[in-house]
Amino acid sequence: MKISGMIDESMDKEQMQQPPQPWEFRTKPVWQRLLIMIGGVLVNFILAFFIYAMILFSYGKEYIPVKNATYGFAFSPTAAKIGFQIGDRIIAVDGVEHETLSDVVNHIIINNAKNVTIERDGQRMNLTIPSDFTSQFLAAKESFFAVELIPWIVESTIADSPAEKAGLMTDDVIVAVNDYPTSMGHLVREQLGKNVGKEIAMTISRNGEEKILNMRVGDDGKVGFYPRHPRNILETKRQEYGFWASFPAGFKFGANILANYVRSMKLIFSKEGVKQVGGFITIGSIFPSQWDWFEFWTWTALLSLILAFMNILPIPALDGGHVLFILYEMITGRKPSDKFLENAQIVGMILLLGLLILANGNDIIRLFQR
């Protein structure tokens, strides 16, 4: 959509050379032009906060408090290199106890935490976080920092999968793979990964009785079942919100997500961080393969927040760039020349095109690296 009487990405110079018309953007008072330019960004923010409010109203908020991870955590290889061990329980980060695992990860990765207090075998100790840990983590391209340890209980099997054909059933507890004890889910995943394309003997516990089921591991390292979600095994904390209470809660929830996103922007300017930038393929991949309204609205709200924030950045060709020039006019009383605005628009479009190429180029490179 083009705004009449405005230098934008259409670069319509002929129109700007015509006598100004009363309905055009350039003839409006400066305060009205400012409202027009921030209107789209404001709508994106309002939409995101409204969606978050309705998510809380419809679904409530349920999560596993860090202190309720009774089996401890499994950690990424990079985290293991600096001293974390399977089964460690996280007590505090830089002396502060955090309620959720996402808060812990954000503080470590984004805020460059210096130490983490853990509990191991009943003893508390401090682990020092190297100053370059965030760079190490990003360079390793790991999808998680830590995940709650839980026994793997079968939630359901996939039709015609090796697991279903072997007789695996809902509520079965996987206790061993090829006689290797698998008390926790990460051990099951590890053993399946070591036996890709091979026949395995899976020992399961069913109603207190152990059985051995033989099945073949697929080329993807899976046998075709869904494990029970940690929320259905560990004790969760749940909050319900009434219609009116959901609005301030949704605003607070969205503002916290936005703040974490803004703080994470600094990572883009590192060698490792710039490689994490993604384009259309990355955006498409964040949505689940099976339709889920909760996931759909959660990601829609996040994308609306990101779009609003990116669009208000003071970069020529974005709304934020136009706002910057309008504020300059309000302060100085002088309007930038059309020639200056044209050149600024060109510079902004080059920057955006470069970012577009970088983001989608990273996607293509990741496709070939799989």
What local confidence, expressed as pLDDT, does residue 125 receive?
93
pLDDT category of residue 354 using cuts at 50, 70 and 90: confident
Q: Which helix (H) or strand (E) holds 276?
A: none
Output the average pLDDT for the chain: 84
The domain spans of the chain are 1-60+240-370, 66-148, 154-227
Check whether 67 has a pLDDT greater than 90. yes
pLDDT category of residue 283 using cuts at 50, 70 and 90: low
Bridge partners, 75 (sequence order):
146
What local confidence, expressed as pLDDT, does residue 7 receive?
56
What local confidence, expressed as pLDDT, does residue 281 receive?
63
C-alpha span between 169 and 176 (Å, rounded): 16
Between the ranges 134-148, 227-241, 265-279, where is the mean pLDDT highest?
Answer: 227-241
Check whether 349 has a pLDDT greater than 60. yes
Q: Tokens representing 213?
A: 């089921």
The pTM (predicted TM-score) of the whole model is: 0.73
What local confidence, expressed as pLDDT, does residue 48 receive?
95
Kindly report the CATH number that applies to the domain delimited by 154-227. Answer: 2.30.42.10
CB 203 within 8 Å of CB 210? yes
The arithmetic mean of pLDDT across residues 150-161, rounded, is 91
Compute the Cα dihedral for 213, 219, 221, 226 and give only its sign: negative
Kindly report the CATH number that applies to the domain delimited by 66-148. Answer: 2.30.42.10
The arithmetic mean of pLDDT across residues 294-302, rounded, is 89
Q: Tokens representing 369?
A: 């690296």
96 compared with 17, residue with greater pLDDT: 96
Question: Does 66-148 match 154-227 in CATH topology?
Answer: yes
Q: Among residues 341, 301, 309, which one has the least CA distance to residue 324?
A: 341
Check whether 288 has a pLDDT greater than 80. no
